[in-house]
């Protein structure tokens, strides 16, 4: 069974601090995808990144960076120089390929989320 | 990515009644899903909405309680039937195309009194 663990329930930082959100996953699949989503107070879930299991290169997008380590089954997310607008709940998710044949048929398993509060 | 809208954005309902939530996408998509997010909790998949056939429900969710329709590749509805206060949640639809990246609608905040 798929499992995603976000051990940090809440994190509070002061603006401009760097912060890392941890994500550890479990899967028996050899091919899988990992995701991060952001949920601001408005409630909408915003897609941030997708990483496939064959690509262990770290990725940087502006102030965001992701560290994927297959050896430790981790996919951590770092925000550099945090801003108040980064305050949100962040979810890590794992996709599970189901069935065979063409077309996508994936189920997302979400972690419990980490509430990040960035204080001015 | 596709533009996804949901109606209503929020509602307050009486127990025992039913509410139908609509999800509209601005382009044809292969997969549509319905999730529930209970207060302070993570997202749980209710079902996969299949175009032209019955939805595929996850363990713990049944068609009588959450009937789903998907008449075409851009539209789906989720009905929450015979509601109780425990059904108070955010209900989100998501869509996926040729890749498995799911994009989410803005959600429907449901409060059952």
Residue A10: which H helix or E strand, with range? strand A10-14
- Using a 10 angstrom Cβ sphere, with 0-12 exposed, 13-18 middle and 19 or more buried, the burial of residue A35 is buried
Task: For A75-105, write each residue's pLDDT tens digit.
Answer: 999 999 999 999 999 999 998 765 544 444 5
Q: What is the CA radius of gyration of chain A?
A: 15
The SS3 assignment for A48 reads strand
Distance in angstroms (rounded) separating the CA atoms of residues A68 and A94: 13
Percent of chain B that is helix, strand, coil (3-state, to 5): 5, 50, 45
Closest chain B CA to residue A97: B100
Q: Between B42, B48, B107, which is nearest A43 by CB?
A: B107
pLDDT tens for chain B, residues 1 to 113: 789 999 999 999 999 999 999 999 999 988 899 999 999 899 999 999 988 888 999 999 999 999 999 999 999 999 999 999 999 999 999 998 777 789 999 999 999 99
Q: Do A104 and B106 touch (CB under 8 A)?
A: no
Q: Between A42, A44, A103, which is nearest B104 by CB?
A: A44
Q: Do B100 and A95 touch (CB under 8 A)?
A: yes
Q: Any chain B CB within 8 A of the CB of A112?
A: yes
Substitution target in B3, B33, B42 with the highest count of A β-carbons within 10 Å is: B42
């Amino acid at each position: 069974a798929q499992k995603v663990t976000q051990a940090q329930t809440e994190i509070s930082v002061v603006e401009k601090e760097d912060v890392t959100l941890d994500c550890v996953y479990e899967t028996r699949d050899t091919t899988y995808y990992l995701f991060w989503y952001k949920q601001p107070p408005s409630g909408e879930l915003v897609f941030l990144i997708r990483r496939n299991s064959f690509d262990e290169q770290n990725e940087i997008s502006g102030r965001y960076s992701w560290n994927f380590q297959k050896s430790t089954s981790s996919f951590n997310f770092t925000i550099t120089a945090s801003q108040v607008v980064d305050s949100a709940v962040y979810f890590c998710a794992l996709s599970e390929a189901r069935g065979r044949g063409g077309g996508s048929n994936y189920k997302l398993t979400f972690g419990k989320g980490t509430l990040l509060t960035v204080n001015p | 990515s596709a533009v996804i809208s949901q109606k209503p954005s929020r509602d307050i309902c009486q127990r025992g009644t039913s509410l139908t939530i609509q999800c509209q996408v601005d382009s044809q998509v292969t997969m549509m899903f319905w999730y529930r997010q209970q207060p302070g909790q993570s997202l749980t998949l209710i079902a996969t909405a299949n175009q032209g056939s019955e939805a595929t429900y996850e363990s713990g969710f049944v068609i009588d309680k959450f009937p789903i329709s998907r008449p075409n590749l851009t539209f789906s509805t989720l009905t929450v039937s015979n509601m109780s206060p425990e059904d108070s949640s955010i209900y989100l639809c998501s869509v996926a195309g040729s890749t498995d990246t799911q994009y989410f609608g803005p959600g429907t905040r449901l409060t059952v009194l």
